[in-house]
Amino acid sequence: MDQTVIIFSSLVAGSRVGGGVSAAVLTRAGFTPEHVPTVIFGRHPGLGAPGGGAVPDAVFSGALDGLAANGAPARARAILAGYFASAGQVRAASTFIQAAKAANPDIFVLVDPICGDGVADGSPDGLYVKREIAEAIAARLVPLADLVTPNAFELAFLTGRPVTDTVTAQDAALALGRSVLVTSVPDGTERLAVMLAMAEESYTSHTHRLDGVPHGTGDLLAALALVARLEGQAGQALCNHVTQACERVIRASVSARSNDLLLGALP
């Protein structure tokens, strides 16, 4: 069976974030990533001027055309859609995914709706991409997803519902109408919850709040969830696995005072 996984996300040369993390996790698990970058940066913007810039829409679309001509949609096991730099990129990606689903009905689509962070009250106040990008993700990519992996803010934005605890997180996930693995759900003062909600079922794991966590944890969790799903994990086992693996990497990174995730700490 072909083990190709197509990635649409950022390429950040000097930071362990975005599509670089996705590709590393997938490769480690025996999959073959085919990464179409949406931006090319030297480092994470949170560390200062990143260098580089967004991939122009025409270049991004042209790369998708070449990937399609090479037969990727018909043979890939999955598509992981992450960070986008323009609404035009989102439209091109959605067209590609629709064609891939038509050619390959078994392809698994994971959408990590990277668009913001902050108070999960359903407002757009925490967006760190243009609102038109976030709205395009909601309208064009989420409906194509087999699994969506938002943080609490992103789930609240996508549904217009506040996410303040596990109960409201489950309500918002059900309102989205897709299988959802939501992270960073408040659960008391010392813990955060990770919740997997599918139809009427939900499963929850917990992690401790930590200071000094490097960027890229959402990218890591999404990639781990995709690998777990492709390897046949589901339900509580999947929720526990991705939560524990992420916490292990985060703790190792924090302990080493690293600016980047130490992926070598993965089990």
Domains defined for the chain, CATH in brackets: 4-265 (3.40.1190.20)
Secondary structure letter of residue 142 according to DSSP? G
Closest CA to 239 of 252, 254, 228, 250: 228
Look over the chain and give the mean of its residue pLDDT values, rounded to a whole number. Answer: 93
pLDDT in tens, the chain (267 residues): 579 999 999 999 988 899 999 999 999 999 999 999 999 999 888 888 899 999 999 999 999 999 999 999 999 999 999 999 999 999 999 999 999 999 999 999 999 999 999 889 888 899 999 999 999 999 999 999 999 999 999 999 999 999 999 999 999 999 999 999 999 999 877 889 999 998 778 999 998 888 888 888 999 999 999 999 999 999 999 999 999 999 999 999 999 999 888 998 898
Contact 139, 131 (CB under 8 A): no
55: which 2 tokens?
């991939």
Interatomic CA distance for residues 203 and 171, integer angstroms: 13
Q: pLDDT at position 15, please?
A: 83
Q: What is the pLDDT of residues 198-247, one digit of tens each?
A: 877 899 999 888 888 888 899 999 999 999 999 999 999 999 999 999 99
Name the E strands within the chain. Answer: 4-12, 32-41, 53-54, 78-81, 108-111, 147-148, 180-186, 191-198, 201-208
Chain mean position to CA 105: 21
What 8-state DSSP symbol labels residue 232?
Answer: T
Whole-prediction pTM? 0.95
Q: What separation in angstroms does the CA of 96 have from each of 37, 104, 112, 116, 170?
A: 14, 12, 16, 24, 30
Q: Alpha-carbon distance 109 to 5, whole Å?
A: 10
φ/ψ (deg, to 5) at 257: 55, 40
User: In what helix (H) or strand (E) does residue 210 lie, and over which residues does it extend?
Assistant: none
- The reported pLDDT for the residue numbered 208 is 84
**Predicted local confidence at residue 193, as pLDDT:** 92
Strand pairing class (4-12; 78-81): parallel
In the chain, count H helices and then E strands.
9, 9
